[in-house]
Structure 1
Amino acid sequence: MYIEQAYKGLIDNWRYLIGILLIIGVWQFLGSFPLLAALALKEGGMSAMMSGSIGKMSEVLGSNTFLFFMLLTFVFGLIAVFLVVKFLHKQSLTDLTTSRPKIDWKRVAFSFFLWGSISVLFIFIDIYFAPEDYEYNFQLVPFLILAVIAIAMIPLQTSMEEYFMRGYMMQGLGILTKNRWFPLLFTSLLFGLLHIMNPEVDKLGYGILIFYIGTGLFLGIITLMDQGLELALGFHAANNLTAALLVTADWTAFSVDSLYRDISEPVLGWDMLVPVFVVFPILLLIFSKKYGWTNWKEKLTGKVLSEEEFLKLDN
């Protein structure tokens, strides 16, 4: 099973403690240096930096430039995850990714195109029925620059979050607690709370965290049920990529040169809750039918045992 792949490496508690500190340090501090340097070189950059406002920093640098430097922090974080796993835990990237003999890229692609298609469909349905809420925002050169940055870097950003949350932390917490339900719930809650500084929370209120935590729970469930990160990697990349390229708003984390601009008054409505309570359960059904998922209770709440412990229990 997926969490048990950690047993193939070194699993001392101190290694995970140091690993988490190293990853966060590289991601949040070292990775931020290029952004801070770019701001320092711009007029008004220091005041924007001190304010901590994403909107002000984006205004100083330009939306595409700011997006590049923001995503670059996640590239640093992803490299840190891979190095920590390889050198501190002596674990392979494949074992961090999946319980299968090799990474199943067909699963990544299926999840990506499935959720990407659904996301695009939902967006254009909303534009069709509420055209007054949207403004056509297409500008060829800025959009092409955005597309290059987004296609090249957003999959790295989402992969960093998946490898750190549903990979490194889920495996580490599973080994520590000897069960599956705690790492599932803890990483889902943490995933949601990490978005608490997003501009959307200021506009929509803390109720939006239901969407983020629910999304984290969904990603955790498909990781444990499918015994690997592949479906989560594809889903998360499709989700962020379509959001960045198709619709932007002044109050979102991706306030960029997207195809459309949402000019409606921000309100926490059905569009934020339906995915969690309706669409995600349907996706779980689709995935379970396609990949033959069974034994849900054991895979989501069962014990985590090493091979030696399992053999003793079996005897």
Structure 2
Amino acid sequence: MYIAQAFNTLHDWWRYIIGVFIIVVGVFIGQVPFTAAVMIKAFKDGKNPSELNQSVMMSYLEPNLNLFLMLLSFAVGLVALLLVTKYLHKQSFTQLTTSRKQIDWKRVLFIFFFWGIISSGLVLADYYMTPENYKLNFQLKPFIILCVIAIIFVPLQTSFEEYMFRGYLMQGIGVVVKNKWMPLIITSAVFGLLHIANPEVEKLGPMIMVYYIGTGLFLGIMTLMDEGMELSLGFHAANNLFTALLVTADWTAFQTHSILKDMSDPSETALSEIFVPVFIVFPIILFIFSRIYKWTGWKEKLFGKVEEPALLTSEINTIGHGTDI
């Protein structure tokens, strides 16, 4: 039902092409302040901005300013996406989010704290077991500023990615190809590949794409099985927010005034940090939530057909004339 309900909106394939174009333009507009700030600083430092590679640019500014300007583009992209769905597709925010009559915010909060506590606990456990791999990075004033920026903008960043991939594109591809497995695979692959410019890829090599694509697949499966995005929204927000506040490293996309700084050589633990989450942790989480929310019909929900519900001609015409649904 989550994908199929997009049939009740304006779902022509060309609308999704135009929609993606508008959203991408929105993201690029949101990147203008970051690019301008990097160029100004480079000129002040006597450097040629064109010589700065992607990983250098992502850590070139003061960490809090850098994080704010990086996340700003996602916030603008999210606004563009919501405008596209409202005016181009005549789709309500609820329909984009879930197949339920109302968004289940309890699901969002439950998995947010569930994964936030577990992921933070794993980092702290590693800190106490191998303290030589960490440096205390805490500074009160920068950390407070970080908290304000992260608490406001990280959920906007993760929500943009979820609404783009597990929402807009999942539904759009699904109503075009009329099955569920293809949008699941395509959105997971594109989600992963869009992280290819992250400094983690440069440091750990292309193998880390297993983690990014695997994470996209995990979030997509959770969305299809739960018939809504609430769980993926909460998980993604917790994953990025708690990480931004708790630990940073010189080779990560988020370089922040966090409490700890990881000083270890990531190449030594790359295999475990890539494969353990994807092939052990994520399946366990899916199993736990399948029990909590009583998921059934895995084959149908992940590989079944997306069937168009019968609409009266008058209803279609009403949608076409802009009635908000």
Name stretches of at least 5 consecutive residues in structure 2 with no aligned partner: 312-325
Task: Look up the match of 1:31.
Answer: 30
Distance in structure 2 (CA, Å) of the matches to 1:57 and 1:179: 38
**What amino acid does structure 1 have at the position aligned with 2:287?**
L
Alignment of 1:55-134 (within 5 A): 55-56=56-57, 58-59=59-60, 61-134=61-134
Distance in structure 2 (CA, Å) of the matches to 1:48 and 1:251: 20
**Aligned to 2:266, what secondary structure does the other structure show?**
coil
Q: Describe the superposition over 1:210-241 as per-residue Cα deviations: whole angstroms up to 9, x where unpaired.
A: 11111100000000000000000000000001
Task: Look up the match of 1:180.
Answer: 180
**What amino acid does structure 2 have at the position aligned with 1:284?**
L
Q: TM-score, normalised by structure 1?
A: 0.94
Compute the displacement of 1:285 (Å).
1.0
**Aligned to 2:277, what secondary structure does the other structure show?**
helix
Change (3 A) 1:269 1:57: closer
Task: Look up the match of 1:283.
Answer: 285
Q: TM-score, normalised by structure 2?
A: 0.91
Compute the displacement of 1:307 (Å).
1.0
Change (3 A) 1:170 1:135: same
**What amino acid does structure 2 have at the position aligned with 1:129?**
M
| Range moving further from structure 2, 277-286 or 161-170 | 277-286
Task: Look up the match of 1:52.
Answer: 53
Q: Describe the superposition over 1:88-123 as per-residue Cα deviations: whole angstroms up to 9, x where unpaired.
A: 001101000000001100000011011111101110
Alignment of 1:7-18 (within 5 A): 7-18=7-18
Task: Look up the match of 1:148.
Answer: 148
Structure 1 runs, 4 residues or longer, greater than 6 Å off: none
Distance in structure 1 (CA, Å) of the matches to 2:54 and 2:100: 43
| Range moving further from structure 2, 192-201 or 29-38 | 29-38
Compute the displacement of 1:57 (Å).
5.2
| Range moving further from structure 2, 277-286 or 219-228 | 277-286
Asked if structure 2 preserves the Cα contact closer than 8 Å seen for 1:97 and 1:167, the reply is yes
Change (3 A) 1:167 1:57: closer
Distance in structure 2 (CA, Å) of the matches to 1:2 and 1:285: 21
Distance in structure 2 (CA, Å) of the matches to 1:205 and 1:194: 15
Q: Describe the superposition over 1:40-94 as per-residue Cα deviations: whole angstroms up to 9, x where unpaired.
A: 43323873465233434533x2111011000000001000110000000011010
Name stretches of at least 5 consecutive residues in structure 1 with no aligned partner: 310-315
Task: Look up the match of 1:41.
Answer: 40
Root mean square deviation, CA, Å: 1.4
Asked if structure 1 preserves the Cα contact closer than 8 Å seen for 2:54 and 2:197, the reply is no
Change (3 A) 1:160 1:141: same
Task: Look up the match of 1:313.
Answer: none
Q: Give the total of aligned pairs.
A: 307
Asked if structure 1 preserves the Cα contact closer than 8 Å seen for 2:38 and 2:57, the reply is no
**Aligned to 1:237, what secondary structure does the other structure show?**
helix
**Aligned to 1:41, what secondary structure does the other structure show?**
helix
| Range moving further from structure 2, 231-240 or 112-121 | 112-121
